[in-house]
Amino acid sequence: MDFPEFSSGIEDKEAVVQSLFWVGGALCLVATILPLVLLFRPSRLLRQAALWVLLAGTGAISAAAILVISRSLDLHLTLLSITPQLALSFRLDKLSCFFVVIIGAVSFCAVIYSITYIAHYKSERSKQFLTSGLAFFILAMLLVVASSTTFGFLFFWELMSLSSFFLVMFDLDKPETQKAGIFYFAMTQMGTIFLLASFLLLYRFTGSFDISAAGNIPQWGKGLVFVSLFIGFGTKAGIIPFHKWLPYAHSASPSNVSALMSGVMLKVPIYGLVRFIIDVFRPDLWWGIVLLFFGSITALLGIIYAFKEHDLKKMLAYCSIENLGVIVVGLGLYVIFDFYGLRVQADLCIYGALFHTLNHALFKSSLFMTAGSVVQATGTRDIEQMGGLIKRMPGTGAIFLVGACAIAALPPLNGFASEIMIFQAYLTSFSLGRPILEILLMAGLAALALTSTLAAACFAKAFGIIFLARPRSGAASAAKEAPFAQLLAPGILAALCVGFGVFSYQLISNVKSGMPLPDILPIGIIVLVLTGVTFLLLLLTRSPVRKTETWGCGIPSQTGKMEYSGDGFSEPIVTVFKPVFRTRKLSTREFYDKYNSIPKSSSGEIGTLKFFEERLYVPIARFFMKIAGAVSNLHNVDMDALILYSFIAVVLVILGVGWWL
């Protein structure tokens, strides 16, 4: 009342945000419907128009979210209310808007990328479908993080899962896509079941579907809800051992979709974790330890698996698992430090985790887009078939290099800027004063350090094998540079990677002052100056430059086949981590005679044991198949047994009703 102008200013802002949000959502919906209007007479014009509308829609929603963050607003909006309890209502506060900005901005770039990327598919029908699915997927993700009720959250979560499932199944003729689709569908539904269970538990305890009302529930119920939420969100985020769908789904889907799935969709469960674990509940210590443990394992195994992969998109997918692990480590550490009241370290971890979420969205979607251009240009995802692409696709190569440096956590880029926050928290944890816990933390620190250099090794390999040296196949030597839009979109993201890295200190101090972090801006300036100075000094030597062929020990001419291969590059690390990879050797021999002396045929097979798939998933699946078999046996019986069933059922019902009353 004292400051009427000020409060009316706030209301104005709220009105603006509200209208931007609705308009943005409506535009996304229009973009979903537009390509499908003329289903049987697909038109290129409508498809293009839909992409532009989608661009405007994501732009509008991002603008609304940025306004909310910069003005610290807290808005409640309701779209539809079936009953006062079951409503699709939204809450735009700083946390949800942070994720809305990530989703909006990355989707914006992905849509730019799609303008030319979609055009390379053959059938006009599939192009329409892809455009429409993309718009719907983006809209669903935006609405999940904006939801303020568990009901709305789950509703849009399912829409997100389904729309992404259809996008994964885009190339459904390929057997690999079918496998990916089934894996994805089964696992994502399993995750949803756990989410549903925890939301129903919350409803049972609080009598409300409102997310923010879930705070006051008994201790044991809280633990149960946490485990259930962790499995539900962990499945979607690719936390090991719930990760197996991720590499399949990411490699099978079109590249603009995998950029969105990896860059953005994996962040939605992180939002869920942050919202429920940190904002709504007051977490226990063991939650933090669980998060830290699974996060560290995920990060380490994710990058070790990525290192061996030579399918480019699968490698990127495993790297996403690694980065999600790092984020979960940050959340776990936050819980631990917060529990013991170490404010500075807790802040470092939570802001580090959120910053890494943003950074991963930027560099991973940039990498997926450039990888998509590479795959489009060479027609293969196998990096052993690539090589020498930097001369043929210089723009794509340079952008990939920036992304690779960022994901490898090299200063002064953004991947480092967020990882150092977590390192810093680890290193300054000496005031914790709990020796046993501290030893656990140090094991986590060693794992994180190993993870981050393995990431550097992995991307040195990826960039080196894909872009450097000679082409290893005809397709690679015939590759052409990607069209402008496919350079612009990842280029914007790569520029943001540099910006968020160099100015990270300034950014973070804007959000929260007093963090014990190094300022990276002067480092960037000094490196730039020193590079320039050495360059100029070297010009002074006026050394003549000669070009000749690579020395090959006197071989007349070298071919691409003689180069070091990706497998060769990863061999030493694979050997060091042999126990993790679990190589499996099978050999069979057949003989003509019974004394096994005249060999008839033999076969040998050597491969990696897919540990989680073969030792965890398949046994569980077998178990359920067995139960299903047993149940189906109950059906195949004669009349007498059926009468017995009915009798038992009636007795049980009577007993149950009697007990109830």
- Residue numbers 465-494 binding another protein by CB under 8 A: 465, 467-470
Q: What's the Cα-to-Cα distance from 60 to each of 241, 252, 462, 549, rounded to whole Å?
A: 38, 31, 36, 54
Among 416, 500, 503, 617, binds another protein (CB under 8 A): 416
Neighbour tally for 523: CB within 10 Å:
15
Among 460, 475, 495, 507, binds another protein (CB under 8 A): 460
Locus of tokens 């990127």: 316
Among 424, 473, 486, 504, binds another protein (CB under 8 A): 424
Among 547, 585, 594, 600, binds another protein (CB under 8 A): 547
Q: How far is the CB of 339 from another protein (least distance, A)?
A: 18
Q: How far is the CB of 155 from another protein (least distance, A)?
A: 44
Stretch that binds another protein, among 18-26, 120-128, 460-468, 637-645 (CB under 8 A): 460-468
Q: Based on the shown chain and the rule CB under 8 A, indicate whether residue 322 belongs to the binding site for another protein.
A: no
In b/e form, how buried is each residue of 534-569, taking b as 16+ CB within 10 angstroms?
Answer: eeeeeeeeeeeeeeeeeeeeeeeeeebeebebbeeb
By beta-carbon proximity to another protein, the closer residue of 17 and 441 is 441
Query: What would the DSSP string read from start to end of 571-629?
Result: HHHHHHTHHHH-EEEEEEEEESSTTS-SEEEEEEEEEE--HHIIIIIHHHHHHHHHHHH
Q: How far is the CB of 585 from another protein (least distance, A)?
A: 19
Q: How far is the CB of 376 from another protein (least distance, A)?
A: 21
Backbone angles phi, psi at 470, to 5 degrees: -95, 155
Question: Under DSSP, is residue 94 helix (H, G, I), strand (E, B) or coil?
Answer: helix
By beta-carbon proximity to another protein, the closer residue of 40 and 535 is 535
According to CB under 8 A, which residues from 560 to 599 bind another protein?
Answer: 560, 562-564, 568-573, 575-576
Residue 594 identity: K
Residues ≥6 apart with Cβ < 8 Å to 634? 645
Say if residues 58 and 104 touch (Cβ distance below 8 Å).
yes
Stretch that binds another protein, among 9-17, 180-188, 335-343, 452-460 (CB under 8 A): 452-460
Q: Based on the shown chain and the rule CB under 8 A, indicate whether residue 543 belongs to the binding site for another protein.
A: yes
Stretch that binds another protein, among 97-105, 325-333, 454-462, 650-658 (CB under 8 A): 454-462
Say if residues 30 and 131 touch (Cβ distance below 8 Å).
no
Q: Based on the shown chain and the rule CB under 8 A, indicate whether residue 503 belongs to the binding site for another protein.
A: no
CA angle in degrees (0–180, nearest 5) for 431-437-438: 50
Q: Based on the shown chain and the rule CB under 8 A, indicate whether residue 182 belongs to the binding site for another protein.
A: no
Distance, CA of 317 to CA of 377 (rounded, Å): 20
Residue 242 identity: F
By beta-carbon proximity to another protein, the closer residue of 213 and 457 is 457
By beta-carbon proximity to another protein, the closer residue of 60 and 390 is 390
Q: How far is the CB of 465 from another protein (least distance, A)?
A: 7
Among 79, 450, 495, 580, binds another protein (CB under 8 A): 450
By beta-carbon proximity to another protein, the closer residue of 197 and 521 is 521
Locus of tokens 């539904």: 189
Residue 333 tokens, joined = 């550490």
Q: Based on the shown chain and the rule CB under 8 A, indicate whether residue 338 belongs to the binding site for another protein.
A: no
Which of 104, 111, 14, 102 has the alpha carbon at shortest distance from 60? 104
Q: How far is the CB of 367 from another protein (least distance, A)?
A: 16
Helices 343-378, 484-502: axis angle to 10 degrees equals 160
Q: Based on the shown chain and the rule CB under 8 A, indicate whether residue 502 belongs to the binding site for another protein.
A: no
By beta-carbon proximity to another protein, the closer residue of 145 and 409 is 409
Distance, CA of 239 to CA of 232 (rounded, Å): 10
Q: How far is the CB of 630 from another protein (least distance, A)?
A: 49
By beta-carbon proximity to another protein, the closer residue of 196 and 468 is 468
Question: Under DSSP, is residue 92 helix (H, G, I), strand (E, B) or coil?
Answer: strand
Say if residues 194 and 228 touch (Cβ distance below 8 Å).
yes
Among 351, 461, 491, 502, binds another protein (CB under 8 A): 461
According to CB under 8 A, which residues from 377 to 406 bind another protein?
Answer: 387-388, 390-391, 405
CA angle in degrees (0–180, nearest 5) for 25-27-32: 95
Dihedral over alpha carbons 156, 161, 167, 170 (to 10 degrees): -140
Q: Based on the shown chain and the rule CB under 8 A, indicate whether residue 509 belongs to the binding site for another protein.
A: no
Count of residues in the chain: 661
By beta-carbon proximity to another protein, the closer residue of 39 and 530 is 530
Q: How far is the CB of 111 from another protein (least distance, A)?
A: 31
Distance, CA of 350 to CA of 352 (rounded, Å): 5
Q: Based on the shown chain and the rule CB under 8 A, indicate whether residue 556 belongs to the binding site for another protein.
A: no
Among 410, 485, 495, 515, binds another protein (CB under 8 A): 410
Backbone angles phi, psi at 311, to 5 degrees: -85, 115
Q: How far is the CB of 487 from another protein (least distance, A)?
A: 17
Backbone angles phi, psi at 585, to 5 degrees: -115, 130
Backbone angles phi, psi at 77, to 5 degrees: -125, 150
Among 411, 490, 491, 501, binds another protein (CB under 8 A): 411
Stretch that binds another protein, among 44-52, 277-285, 334-342, 420-428 (CB under 8 A): 420-428
Residue 289 tokens, joined = 């330890």
Largest CA distance in the chain: 102
Among 449, 620, 627, 653, binds another protein (CB under 8 A): 449
Helices 435-467, 566-576: axis angle to 10 degrees equals 160
By beta-carbon proximity to another protein, the closer residue of 10 and 562 is 562
Stretch that binds another protein, among 93-101, 339-347, 544-552, 610-618 (CB under 8 A): 544-552
Q: How far is the CB of 373 from another protein (least distance, A)?
A: 18
Q: How many chain residues touch another protein (CB under 8 A)?
A: 81
Among 78, 216, 531, 596, binds another protein (CB under 8 A): 531
Residue 14 identity: E
By beta-carbon proximity to another protein, the closer residue of 460 and 495 is 460
By beta-carbon proximity to another protein, the closer residue of 228 and 370 is 370
Distance, CA of 44 to CA of 50 (rounded, Å): 10
Is the peptide bond prior to 471 cis by the omega test (within 30 degrees of 0)?
no
Q: Based on the shown chain and the rule CB under 8 A, indicate whether residue 216 belongs to the binding site for another protein.
A: no
By beta-carbon proximity to another protein, the closer residue of 114 and 504 is 504
Among 457, 485, 515, 616, binds another protein (CB under 8 A): 457
